[in-house]
């Protein structure tokens, strides 16, 4: 049911998202040199790595660092990048990962391989067996403003409470958070 909901929601959103994605791609190209998409290695279900696309919001050559530890991120974020991060438009290409089956709309956020502490906590609790999501319970409860331990705790809570209704609640809260632009550090 969850997979069907993912596919239906993405297909229904395509008439709106494709023109927005085209505008974002053009803006990125005009704003800074480099590719429009940034392909990031992430850890997916059962600890398997996969490549996740995002619209590039940083200058080419920015270091790969955990969000909480990236103290000088502002010096790498492009003008368009700042806007697309605040509005979460940089996440649109991840719809491809959902359609491909690497991700879901809702689930624990896929982590970078260097985020070993949170990955270990997830694995110990069995959260690593879940398909990662574009948004999730941890994202709407703090995003990059919470510690790795808190993220893992919220991911465990999601795993215990997960249901179709809970996912719908998270989708609605995600939309609200994006509109309010809450909990965005960089």
The residues spanned by each domain of the chain are: 2-180
Q: Residue 9: which residues within 8 A CB-CB, separation 6 or more? A: 105, 171
Rounded to two decimals, what is the model's pTM? 0.87
Average pLDDT, integer, range 150-171: 95
pLDDT of residue 167: 95
Q: What six digits make up the tokens of 45? A: 């279900």
Q: What six digits make up the tokens of 3? A: 């997979």
Tell me which DSSP letter residue 98 carries.
H
**Max mean pLDDT range (28-42, 63-77, 132-146, 168-182):** 28-42
Instruction: Report pLDDT digits (tens) over 40-64.
Output: 999 999 999 999 999 999 988 887 7
Instruction: Report pLDDT digits (tens) over 59-85.
Output: 888 877 766 666 667 778 999 999 999
């Amino acid at each position: 049911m969850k997979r069907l909901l993912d596919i239906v929601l993405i297909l229904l959103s395509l008439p709106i998202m494709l023109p927005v994605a085209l505008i974002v791609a053009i803006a990125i190209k005009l704003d800074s040199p480099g590719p429009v998409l940034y392909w990031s290695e992430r850890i997916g279900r059962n600890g398997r790595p996969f490549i996740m696309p995002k619209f590039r919001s940083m200058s080419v050559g920015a270091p790969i660092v955990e969000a909480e530890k990236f103290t000088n991120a502002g010096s790498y974020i492009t003008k368009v990048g700042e806007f697309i991060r605040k509005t979460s438009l940089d996440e649109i290409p991840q719809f491809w990962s959902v359609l491909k089956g690497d991700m879901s709309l809702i689930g624990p956020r896929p982590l970078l391989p260097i985020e070993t502490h949170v990955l270990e906590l997830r694995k110990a609790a069995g959260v690593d067996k879940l398909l990662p999501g574009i948004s999730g319970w941890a994202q709407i409860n703090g995003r990059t403003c919470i510690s790795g331990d808190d993220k893992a705790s919220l991911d465990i809570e999601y795993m215990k409470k997960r249901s179709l209704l809970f996912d719908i609640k998270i989708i609605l809260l995600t939309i609200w958070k994006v509109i309010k632009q809450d909990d965005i550090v960089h």
